[in-house]
């Protein structure tokens, strides 16, 4: 009653807040949320959309700073139509995730400009939540996840600020962080228990086949050196034992046996479920984690044994597309192109002798050369072959010749004309590995020795933090294989002849002075190197544990926890049980936060709850005295009883030395109070 008088006294009554204007603080939080939400999208959005979004956000910031409200509706409408038309023109359609997310990003910028009411703020925050999820269509790396988490926190702060517009900022952040922390166990439970879906969850067909960097089925001068600028990771390998020495790390990719004078192409090969050789000798076990490259081939260490013979239960289906295939030129293929990062448990038998028996057709193909090219090389080949007793002798002479020719290994070879091999061997003498491999193979073929080019990766770097071998695009390499009677296909790396450091120490070491790779990759700066190694170990753990959590690993993990069965219902049941347990735990936590209350307080609170059903709930700040009078006014039948209860409760709670008998009597009175 006193409060009512005060309200009148205060003169100005508060306006009903149906239309809350966007305050500067709320606006700033919202703007920050949008900024952090859109930031990671910059990596893939078309430049004009980034520029437009930046302009819209700056505009909003300016309006906030000047304390002005939204620009006129008509202008925003026109902008929206223009933005939609722009997206249509950029992508050609509205379907699929790229145009959809681009449109949403623009709409977020526009929505931000027209935010006026609390409802708008909520809609904007929802849009932000969606865009924070949508970034995972593009990139699922650790920093992106961390960024998305920060953006989610900001979005929550925006919502908290909306509910309590005048409270303290740190309090708001704390509230939002608490909310997020409460959500965390649910997130974990859902992550672990929600039935996993095979393959890319959001891989729409058009998006899944987009081009990626990496090796291809053809090789021409410059095609591999183009990869050397990329520090992107091609694959990782973790060895069961110690890793093989650098000179043994030849990861086989496409084998190229057809030469048209300038480019090398893959020939026709057979595929089979088992290798075209019998593996023997020392065995190396390792797990290959291949980055998506949209091709079928794996990069296997020479020469892969039968993976399906593995008794290991984790093997076989790890890649998700069934058993692997072997080709007659010793490549290892998956059944499907690799569109998501995949793990393969593999083994290798480096000492295996391959291709001792080769058909005449294959050998003839391996001697084929297009007529009319590289006359000087052909002349050199005839010279080398003259008087040689065997192919092995020709090979040795060719290697010796290459060593004496003092060819220079460089990332920046001069352009070559029609007779590329002649020009490289006799004129420019500067080349990258594809020049070496191509020239050597042509030389061998001209001398009548069967030879072919093998592309793949060579080397890689062991990360001392987790012991994994990391192979990057810049480790892409090309070498030759020569067929010798009685020995089969023998690997010859002409790059090794001229630049042995390339093979022994890696690309950065082999490059001549004055040529260098990007700082963190090429330089031997210890500090930067250690940071990079740590970061890559962390990323690998993220890839393996989080992104690589597929149906098989889920099954494995759950089996380890004692939950058996592929049944979706078992999973769903476990999930429900977990979620309920978590809810219960949260509930208990929340109720324990409430102060311990005695019997009188409990009875009093229950009375308030009973009255709440009539719209007469006690406000948290409302004293017993005032509350009892308010109820008495609303329900005249209760007037006397409520006044007594209210007065007595107030006296027993705030008066000196409450009498236990009186407390009991009041509890009884409250409990027996009948609402009319």
Comparing CB distances to another protein, the nearer of 166 and 613 is 166
By CB under 8 A, residue 10 contacts another protein: yes
Comparing CB distances to another protein, the nearer of 569 and 621 is 621
Binder to another protein among 262, 429, 491, 625 (CB under 8 A)?
625
Residue list 15-74, contact with another protein (CB under 8 A): 25
Comparing CB distances to another protein, the nearer of 73 and 592 is 592
With the C-alpha atoms ordered 484, 487, 491, 497, is the resulting torsion angle positive or negative?
negative
To the nearest whole angstrom, how small is the minimum distance from the Cβ of residue 652 to another protein? 10
Q: What DSSP string describes 151-216?
A: HHHHHHHHHHHHHSTTS-HHHHHHHHHHHHHHHHHHHHHHHHHSPP-SS-TT--HHHHT----S--
To the nearest whole angstrom, how small is the minimum distance from the Cβ of residue 166 to another protein? 5
- Which whole-number Å values give the CA distances from 377 to 423, 446, 493, 551, in the listed order? 9, 8, 18, 55
Comparing CB distances to another protein, the nearer of 12 and 73 is 12
For the stretch 97-102, contacts whose Cβ atoms lie closer than 8 Å and that sit 24 or more positions apart, written own/partner, are 97/134, 97/137, 97/202, 97/204, 97/207, 98/44, 98/207, 101/41, 101/131, 101/134, 101/137, 102/45, 102/46, 102/49
Which of the stretches 12-20, 95-103, 119-127, 266-274 binds another protein when contact is defined by CB under 8 A? 12-20
Binder to another protein among 613, 656, 661, 676 (CB under 8 A)?
656
Residue list 594-613, contact with another protein (CB under 8 A): 595
Binder to another protein among 76, 622, 635, 639 (CB under 8 A)?
622
Comparing CB distances to another protein, the nearer of 548 and 646 is 646
To the nearest whole angstrom, how small is the minimum distance from the Cβ of residue 20 to another protein? 14
Q: Tell me which residue of 183, 217, 150, 668 sits closest to 455, measured CA to CA.
A: 217
CA distance 569 to 234: 38
Which of the stretches 75-83, 259-267, 415-423, 621-629 binds another protein when contact is defined by CB under 8 A? 621-629
Name the active-site residue from 339, 477, 552, 626: 477
By CB under 8 A, residue 120 contacts another protein: no
Site residue total, another protein (CB under 8 A): 32
Backbone φ, ψ for residue 255 (5° rounding) = -100, 130
Look-up of token digits 């020939």: 267
Which of the stretches 5-13, 150-158, 211-219, 359-367 binds another protein when contact is defined by CB under 8 A? 5-13
By CB under 8 A, residue 205 contacts another protein: no
Binder to another protein among 20, 650, 662, 669 (CB under 8 A)?
650
Backbone φ, ψ for residue 223 (5° rounding) = -75, -30
Q: How far apart are the first and last CA of the chain?
A: 24
Concerning whether 493 is annotated as a catalytic residue, the answer is: yes
Whether the Cβ atoms of residue 627 and residue 646 lie closer than 8 Å to each other: yes
Q: At what angle do helices 375-385 and 391-405 cross, to 10 degrees?
A: 130
To the nearest whole angstrom, how small is the minimum distance from the Cβ of residue 9 to another protein? 6
Concerning whether 433 is annotated as a catalytic residue, the answer is: yes
Binder to another protein among 6, 89, 361, 660 (CB under 8 A)?
6
To the nearest whole angstrom, how small is the minimum distance from the Cβ of residue 11 to another protein? 6
* Residue 372: both structure tokens together: 């009319």
Which of the stretches 257-265, 355-363, 473-481, 652-660 binds another protein when contact is defined by CB under 8 A? 652-660
Q: At what angle do helices 47-66 and 97-113 cross, to 10 degrees?
A: 20
* Residue 31: both structure tokens together: 């703007």
Q: Tell me which residue of 250, 270, 334, 336 sits closest to 298, measured CA to CA.
A: 334
Comparing CB distances to another protein, the nearer of 10 and 242 is 10
Binder to another protein among 270, 308, 619, 644 (CB under 8 A)?
619
By CB under 8 A, residue 168 contacts another protein: yes
Binder to another protein among 66, 68, 73, 166 (CB under 8 A)?
166
Which of the stretches 129-137, 563-571, 623-631, 663-671 binds another protein when contact is defined by CB under 8 A? 623-631
Find the helix or strand (DSSP H, E) in which 131 lies. helix 118-138
Concerning whether 53 is annotated as a catalytic residue, the answer is: no
Which of the stretches 148-156, 397-405, 420-428, 645-653 binds another protein when contact is defined by CB under 8 A? 645-653
By CB under 8 A, residue 655 contacts another protein: yes
Name the active-site residue from 302, 433, 435, 552: 433
CA distance 504 to 54: 48
- Whether the bond between 303 and the residue before it is cis, its omega within 30 degrees of 0, is yes
Binder to another protein among 593, 620, 661, 672 (CB under 8 A)?
620
By CB under 8 A, residue 593 contacts another protein: no
Which of the stretches 35-43, 210-218, 620-628, 630-638 binds another protein when contact is defined by CB under 8 A? 620-628
By CB under 8 A, residue 672 contacts another protein: no
What's the chain's length in residues? Answer: 676
Q: What DSSP string describes 522-567?
A: H---HHHHHHHHHHHHHHHHHIIIIIT--HHHHHHHHHHTT-----
What region, left, alpha or beta, does residue 248 occupy, with left being phi > 0 and alpha being psi -120 to 50 degrees? alpha
* Residue 351: both structure tokens together: 């000492």
CA distance 292 to 288: 12
To the nearest whole angstrom, how small is the minimum distance from the Cβ of residue 68 to another protein? 17
To the nearest whole angstrom, how small is the minimum distance from the Cβ of residue 28 to another protein? 13
Whether the Cβ atoms of residue 145 and residue 545 lie closer than 8 Å to each other: no
To the nearest whole angstrom, how small is the minimum distance from the Cβ of residue 5 to another protein? 7
Binder to another protein among 371, 621, 672, 676 (CB under 8 A)?
621
Comparing CB distances to another protein, the nearer of 32 and 109 is 32
Name the active-site residue from 98, 329, 419, 493: 493
Would you call 345 helix, strand, or coil by DSSP? strand
To the nearest whole angstrom, how small is the minimum distance from the Cβ of residue 2 to another protein? 3
CA distance 332 to 301: 10
In degrees, rounded to 5, the angle at the alpha carbon of residue 380 between the alpha carbons of residues 379 and 382 is 65
Strand partners, 326: 272, 332
Tell me which residues touch another protein (CB under 8 A): 2-3, 5-7, 9-14, 25, 166-169, 171, 595, 619-626, 650-651, 653-656
Active site residues: 433, 477, 493
């Amino acid at each position: 009653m006193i409060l009512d008088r005060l309200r009148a006294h205060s003169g100005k009554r508060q306006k009903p807040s149906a239309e809350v204007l966007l305050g500067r603080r709320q606006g700033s939080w919202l703007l920050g949320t949008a900024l952090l939400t859109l930031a990671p999208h910059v990596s893939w959005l078309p430049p004009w959309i980034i520029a437009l979004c930046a302009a819209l956000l700056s505009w909003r910031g300016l309006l906030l700073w000047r304390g002005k409200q939204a620009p006129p509706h008509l202008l925003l409408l026109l902008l929206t139509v223009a933005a939609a038309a722009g997206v249509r023109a950029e992508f050609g359609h509205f379907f699929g995730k790229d145009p959809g997310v681009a449109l949403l990003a623009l709409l977020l910028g526009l929505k931000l400009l027209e935010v006026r009411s609390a409802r708008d703020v909520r809609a904007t925050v929802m849009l932000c939540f969606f865009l924070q999820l949508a970034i995972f269509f593009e990139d699922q790396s650790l920093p992106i996840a961390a960024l998305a988490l920060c953006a989610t926190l900001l979005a929550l702060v925006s919502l908290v600020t909306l509910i309590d517009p005048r409270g303290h900022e740190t309090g708001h952040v704390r509230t939002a962080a608490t909310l997020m922390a409460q959500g965390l166990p649910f997130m974990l439970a859902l992550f672990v228990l929600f039935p996993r879906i095979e393959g890319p969850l959001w891989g729409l067909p058009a998006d899944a086949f987009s081009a990626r960097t990496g090796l291809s089925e053809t090789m021409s001068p410059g095609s591999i050196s183009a990869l050397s600028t990329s520090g992107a990771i091609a694959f990782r390998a973790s060895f069961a034992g110690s890793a093989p020495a650098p000179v043994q790390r030849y990861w086989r990719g496409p084998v190229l046996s057809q030469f048209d004078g300038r480019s090398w192409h893959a020939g026709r090969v057979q595929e089979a479920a088992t290798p075209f050789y019998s593996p023997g000798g020392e065995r190396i076990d390792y797990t290959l984690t291949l980055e998506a490259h949209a091709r079928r081939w794996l990069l296997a260490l020479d020469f892969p044994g039968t993976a399906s013979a593995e008794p290991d239960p984790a093997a076989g289906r790890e890649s998700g597309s069934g058993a692997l295939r072997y080709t007659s030129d010793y490549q290892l293929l998956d059944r499907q192109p690799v569109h998501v990062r995949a793990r393969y448990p593999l083994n290798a038998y480096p000492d295996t002798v391959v291709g001792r028996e080769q058909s005449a057709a294959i050998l003839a193909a391996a001697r084929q050369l297009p007529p009319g090219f590289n006359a000087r090389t052909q002349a050199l080949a005839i010279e080398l072959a003259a008087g040689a007793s065997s192919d092995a002798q020709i090979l040795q002479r060719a290697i010796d010749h290459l060593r004496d020719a003092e060819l220079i290994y460089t990332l920046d070879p001069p352009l070559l004309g029609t007779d590329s091999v002649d020009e490289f061997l006799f004129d420019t003498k500067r080349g990258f590995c594809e020049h070496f491999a191509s020239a050597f193979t042509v030389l061998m073929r001209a001398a009548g020795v069967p030879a072919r080019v093998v592309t793949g990766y060579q080397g890689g770097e062991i990360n001392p933090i987790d012991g994994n071998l990391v192979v990057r695009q810049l480790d892409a390499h090309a070498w030759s294989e020569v067929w010798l009677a009685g020995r089969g296909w023998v690997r010859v790396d002409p790059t090794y002849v001229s630049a042995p450091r390339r093979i022994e120490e890696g690309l950065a070491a082999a490059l001549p002075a004055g040529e260098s790779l990007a700082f963190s990759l090429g330089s031997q700066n210890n500090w930067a190197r250690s940071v990079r190694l740590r970061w890559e170990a962390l990323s690998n753990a993220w890839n393996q544990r989080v992104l690589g959590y597929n149906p098989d690993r889920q099954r494995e993990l759950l089996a380890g926890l004692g939950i058996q069965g592929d049944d979706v219902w078992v999973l769903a049941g476990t999930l429900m049980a977990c979620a309920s347990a978590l809810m219960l735990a949260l509930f208990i936590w929340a109720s324990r936060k409430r102060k311990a209350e005695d019997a009188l307080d409990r009875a009093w609170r229950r009375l308030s709850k009973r009255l709440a059903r009539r719209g007469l709930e006690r406000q948290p700040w409302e004293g017993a005295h005032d509350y009892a009078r308010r109820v008495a006014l609303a329900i005249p039948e209760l007037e006397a009883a409520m006044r007594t209860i209210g007065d007595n409760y107030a006296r027993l709670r705030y008066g000196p030395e409450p009498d236990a008998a009186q407390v009991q009597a009041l509890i009884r009175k409250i409990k027996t109070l009948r609402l009319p």
